[in-house]
C-alpha cells in the first residue's frame, strides 16, 4: 500500500480508510492528507478478495428473448436504478448474455465477481439459471419479474390497476366494443394485463369478444403492426383497443393508418408504459404511465436493504396513472 509514505503500518491505513475509531486523530489527519495528495483509491480486487464484498451490482437481462439497452421502458427504470445505486456507493456490472467464454451460469458468475446483489430485468422464456440465482443466497431484485427466493424481491406496476384504468377511460368515453393486443402467452406481464382487462370489462357489465384479443411475439412495434393487420384482416373491428405496451400501440396505429383508418374516429387506442415516443406521434398516444423513475429507485433501495440484511425480501407494486393525449378523443362524453 503506497500510503506507508506516512510512516505507519498498512493496518493503520486500512483502519483509517474504513473509518475505524481507534486511531489517533493526529496520525489520521496525516494519512488522510497523503491519501488526498496521491489520489489513492484502494484496489477493488484486493479488498473484494479479503472481504467478499465488491460494491458491485450485477445486472442481468433475463430470458432467451431478452430485453436490451434498446428497450425504452426498461432502460428508463435501469437509468433511475443506476443513479440511485450510484449514490448508495455501488457500480453496475452487466453480464453478457452470450455464453460466457469460460462457461458459467449466472450464479457462478455472481460468485466469480463477488457481486453484492443483482437486479434482473424480465424477458421472455426464462432460463433455469435465473431460478437458481433467485433461490441462492445472493440478494436479487426482479423488475417485472416475480422473484420468490428468501433473499429476493421485486418491483412492478400494479398490472390489474393498469387494465382497470384503461377500461374505465374507454367506458366513460362511451366505447363498448373493446379489443386487446398483447404479447405471447409466456409473458406473465401480458397475461396479467389481459386478465385484468377482461375482469374490468366484465366489471363494467360489457361483453368480452375473444375475436378482438390478439397477440404478437413480443412487446415491440412490429408485433403490434402484425397483430393489428390480423384484426383488420378478420374484419369487424372493435371501437377501442388496449395495447399492452406503447410500442405495440404504435405498431397498431401504423397498420390502421395504412388502411386509411382514423384514430380515434374509427378506432381509439390506449398504450402502456408512457415512453418518450408517445408525445411525438400523431395522434399523440393516450397511455398508462408506469412510474419508471420510482420503479428504479425502489428497486435500488430494496436491493440495498436486502444486501444489508435490513429486509426479508418481498415486493413493491407501484401505482400506474392514466395519461390522456389524443388517441381516444373525447366523444360521447
Partner DNA sequence: CTGAAAGCGCTTACAG
Residues that bind DNA (CB under 7 A): 1-2, 7-15, 17-18, 21-28, 42-43, 46-47, 49-51
Smallest gap from residue 101 Cβ to DNA (A) = 13
Residue 181 is given by DSSP the state E
C-alpha–C-alpha distance, residues 51 and 242, integer Å: 51
| d(C-alpha 1, C-alpha 17), whole Å | 12
CB of residue 10 to DNA, shortest distance in Å: 4
Binding track over 156-195 against a copy of itself, x by CB under 8 A = ----------------------------------------
Q: Shortest approach of a copy of itself to residue 52 CB, angstroms?
A: 9
- Is 85 one of the binding residues for a copy of itself (CB under 8 A)? yes
Which of 87, 71, 55, 83 lies closest to 121 in space, CA to CA?
71
Q: From the list DNA, a copy of itself, none, which binds 78 (C-beta under 5 to 8 Å, kind-based)?
A: a copy of itself
Q: Nearest approach, Cβ of 36 to a copy of itself (angstroms)?
A: 9
> Rounded CA gap, 272 and 249, in Å?
8
Residue 294 CB, nearest approach to a copy of itself (Å): 16
Residue 70, C-alpha cell as written in the block:
434498446
Q: Is 49 in the site for a copy of itself (CB under 8 A)?
A: yes
| Binding at 321: pick from DNA, a copy of itself, none (beta carbon under 5-8 Å per type) | none
Strands (E), the chain: 56-61, 91-94, 117-121, 140-143, 152-157, 178-182, 213-215, 240-243, 268-273, 286-289, 314-318, 321-323
Long-range contacts of 48-55 (CB under 8 A, 24+ apart): 48/114, 52/114, 53/114, 53/116, 54/113, 54/114, 54/115, 54/116, 55/89, 55/90, 55/91, 55/116
Q: Which stretch binds a copy of itself (CB under 8 A): 23-31, 87-95, 199-207, 306-314?
A: 87-95
- The contact set with a copy of itself (CB under 8 A) reads 39-46, 48-49, 54, 56, 68-70, 75-76, 78-79, 82-83, 85-87, 89-98, 100-105, 108-109, 111-114, 221, 250, 254, 257, 276-277, 279-282
Amino acid at each position: 500500500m503506497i500510503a506507508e509514505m506516512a510512516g505507519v503500518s498498512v493496518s493503520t491505513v486500512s483502519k483509517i480508510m474504513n473509518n475505524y475509531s481507534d486511531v489517533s486523530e493526529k496520525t489520521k489527519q496525516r494519512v488522510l492528507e497523503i491519501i488526498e495528495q496521491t489520489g489513492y483509491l484502494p484496489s477493488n480486487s484486493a479488498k473484494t478478495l479479503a472481504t467478499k464484498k465488491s460494491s458491485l451490482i450485477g445486472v442481468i437481462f433475463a430470458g432467451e428473448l431478452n430485453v436490451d439497452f434498446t428497450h425504452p421502458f426498461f432502460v428508463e427504470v435501469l437509468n433511475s436504478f443506476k443513479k440511485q445505486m450510484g449514490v448508495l456507493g455501488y457500480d453496475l456490472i452487466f453480464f453478457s448474455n452470450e455464453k460466457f467464454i469460460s462457461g458459467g451460469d449466472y450464479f457462478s458468475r455472481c460468485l466469480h465477481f463477488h457481486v453484492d446483489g443483482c437486479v434482473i430485468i424480465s424477458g421472455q422464456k426464462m432460463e433455469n439459471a435465473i431460478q437458481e440465482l433467485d433461490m441462492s443466497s445472493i440478494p436479487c431484485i426482479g423488475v417485472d419479474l416475480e422473484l420468490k427466493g428468501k433473499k429476493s424481491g421485486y418491483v412492478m406496476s400494479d398490472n390489474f390497476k393498469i387494465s382497470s384504468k384503461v377500461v374505465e377511460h374507454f367506458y366513460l368515453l362511451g366505447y363498448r366494443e373493446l379489443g386487446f393486443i398483447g404479447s405471447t402467452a409466456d409473458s406473465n406481464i401480458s397475461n396479467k394485463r389481459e386478465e385484468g382487462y377482461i375482469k374490468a370489462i366484465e366489471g363494467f357489465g360489457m361483453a368480452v369478444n375473444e375475436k378482438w384479443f390478439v397477440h404478437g411475439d413480443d412487446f415491440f412495434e412490429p408485433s403490434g403492426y402484425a397483430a393489428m393487420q390480423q384484426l383488420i384482416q378478420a374484419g369487424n373491428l372493435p371501437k377501442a383497443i388496449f395495447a399492452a405496451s406503447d410500442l405495440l400501440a404504435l405498431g397498431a396505429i401504423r397498420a390502421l393508418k395504412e388502411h386509411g383508418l382514423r384514430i380515434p374516429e374509427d378506432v381509439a387506442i390506449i398504450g402502456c408504459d408512457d415512453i418518450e415516443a408517445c408525445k411525438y406521434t400523431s395522434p399523440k398516444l393516450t397511455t398508462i404511465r408506469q412510474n419508471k423513475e420510482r420503479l428504479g429507485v425502489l428497486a435500488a433501495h430494496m436491493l440495498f436493504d436486502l444486501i444489508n440484511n435490513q429486509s426479508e425480501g418481498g415486493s413493491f407494486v407501484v401505482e400506474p396513472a392514466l395519461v390522456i393525449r389524443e388517441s381516444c378523443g373525447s366523444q360521447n362524453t
